[in-house]
Structure 1
Amino acid sequence: MKGIILAGGNATRIFPLSKSISKQIMPVYDKPMIYYPLSTLMLAKIKEVLVISTPRDLPMFRQLLGDGEDLGMKFDYIVQKVPNGLVQAFVLGEKFIGDDSVCLILGDNIFYGQGFSEMLYRVQLHIEGAYIFGYYVKDPKAYSVINFDLDGKVLSIEEKPVCPQSNYVVPGLYFYDNSVIEKAKKIKPSTRDEYEITDLNRLFLVEEKLKISLFGRGFAWLDMGSLDSLLDAACFVATIQKRQGFYIACIEEIAWRNGWIDNEKLQQLGKKMGRTEYGKYILSLLT
């Protein structure tokens, strides 16, 4: 399976912060924002990742992440000139995906909860059709809302409905088999002049190949699309790390625990961080 991180867009909701720098480069407590979605792909044991971003911002991601060799991974990069919808990620990434299945994650999403890694790994091993997730929110009107029956069968998906049929929404994490490429090419622009991921998911729903798994009450999903949500995410990460001592989205640790890098490499990466708390944490894993 391949992974795609969509880290484009203009992030106008957080101007002036994002006027000169990508939102996904900005710090969320002690790490660049893109570390969080990248860590999710790594937890799913995905080693080949494509980063899609704007012409202005893509060089910064190349400088930050490199070619992936330090993590035992492989990173590719593609420009999205116009931010016209999530579905375009599969058209732009067609060559990268090849004959594989693919996982798309939005570059401003954080997922955190017990058993998450095992859930991701099970999904990517047995993907057939499309697999999405459901997360309960108090006010679902601003999201893609899922309606399903008592057996978990998806009945409908609506984009930003006026009268939502449930409180479960689709967070920015999607798994698809290889048929997603051809389906993506069939999607027409919506009234917002965007290629909507909801329309893509409906194509799988019509074929009865759309599956859903619900995140429980103890699970955290943070969408960092506004100034307040950026602050909330930073506070959340800081609280967990300070109280538990475990780091969220430490990509070097995940690569090491996945067996992609050895102790010597982990030590090298830790020493590169100097005397930072992040570097000290990496080195502490070896003791």
Structure 2
Amino acid sequence: MIVIGRWLIALCGPERVAWELGLDRQAVRSERLGHQPDGEADTRQGVAVKGIVLAGGSGTRLHPITQAVSKQLLPVYDKPMIYYPLSVLMLAGIREILIISTPEDLPLFRRLLGNGEQLGLRLDYAVQPQPNGLAEAFVIGADFIGDDSVALVLGDNIFYGHGFPRMLAAQVVDLDGCVLFGYAVQDPERYGVGEVDAHGRLISIEEKPATPKSNKAITGLYFYDNDVVEIARGLRPSPRGELEITDVNLTYLRQGRAKLVDLGRGFAWLDTGTHDSMLAAGQFVQVLEHRQGVRIACLEEIALRMGYIDAAACHALGAKLAKSGYGQYVMAIAAGGSTTDDVS
């Protein structure tokens, strides 16, 4: 018998587990269906995790472009910006996702992504009328979250790195508290900064410190247990009138339930909040895609590799975009034309 935790199969899908581990897909499907040797009880359990993409804000640093369209709908090379954070949640095995945006922009996201069924997802939508802080996402999304844990990703963040799906999957197992992701930067004073001790334990969090205690910026990807809803509801607005995500993280830190996972040198984390960073991100994606012949954050490919849709459905999605190189790539993937060993 193949001993694979059902949490992993439920999280990633049997096709993805087989693909990652080089196993027979039918054997993995049998494991998912609960086929056990006689007399063997299965007590393994998973953690239900939902996702939120926060795609609101006014994008003032990108004016005048964002006076007409949401920042998260702007192109980063060959696809809309929101594809990148959405791909992160999909790679984490998360299929129920809430997209939060402004009243003006939400219909455009619906038009682009629909209900997510074509990708094997369930997409919901909610309005953030004013940019009242990142932590307001948990208040707005309380009914959507229900009793589950939740991952929040900012709509203008791009993550890329080999093995990223396995890293994400490992963090949501038995999630108790919060998991933050740190990334070494040259200018940590511009970010929230996490400090760890000699054993890698998170010991302090500071927001844009004048004298940073480390160079580990806290990225725009956060995993929380269900307590985050009540923590967010209990926050008081900061001097700038917002519910701060740093205050949420500090609450978990005081409880001894905050963890910082270091994204090492093999990863890229890009913030696309300025004109220069948008251009740099597009060039980064262009170079990788042209050099390797793969597409970064191709939602259709991820849905296929994760087992959310089958090859026929993937091909149909590509056929709708057949006049573009992106659509041709999706159809080739559906036909088995990819040689990549990792999808990010």
**TM-score when scaled to structure 1?**
0.99
Secondary structure, in 3 states, of the residue corresponding to 1:119? helix
* Residues 1:29 and 2:87 are matched in the alignment: no
1:55-94 pair list within 5 angstroms? 55-94=103-142
Aligned to 2:154: 106
Aligned to 1:215: 263
> Could you tell me how far 1:270 is from its partner in structure 2?
0.7
Secondary structure, in 3 states, of the residue corresponding to 1:164? coil
Write out per-residue CA displacement over residues 30-89 of structure 1, whole angstroms, 9 at most, x where no aligned residue.
Answer: 000000000000000000000000000000000000000000110000000010100000
Amino acid at match of 1:196: E
1:1-287 pair list within 5 angstroms? 1-285=49-333, 286-287=335-336
Q: Point out where structure 1 has 5 or more consecutive residues left out of the alignment.
A: none
Contact 2:194–2:260 under 8 Å retained in 1: no
Secondary structure, in 3 states, of the residue corresponding to 2:269? strand
Amino acid at match of 1:247: R
Percent identity between matched residues is: 55
Q: Distance in 2 between matches of 1:271 and 1:177?
A: 40
Q: Distance in 1 between matches of 2:241 and 2:155?
A: 21
Amino acid at match of 2:171: V
> Could you tell me how far 1:192 is from its partner in structure 2?
1.7
Which protein is bigger by CA-based radius of gyration? 2
Write out per-residue CA displacement over residues 98-118 of structure 1, whole angstroms, 9 at most, x where no aligned residue.
Answer: 011000000000000011110
Secondary structure, in 3 states, of the residue corresponding to 2:172? helix
Q: Distance in 2 between matches of 1:77 and 1:191?
A: 29
> Could you tell me how far 1:187 is from its partner in structure 2?
1.1
How many residues are treated as equivalent by the alignment? 287
Aligned-residue CA RMSD (Å) = 0.7
Write out per-residue CA displacement over residues 205-227 of structure 1, whole angstroms, 9 at most, x where no aligned residue.
Answer: 01100011101112100000100
> Could you tell me how far 1:124 is from its partner in structure 2?
1.6
Q: Distance in 2 between matches of 1:225 and 1:144?
A: 16
| Runs ≥4 residues deviating over 2 A | none
Amino acid at match of 2:305: R
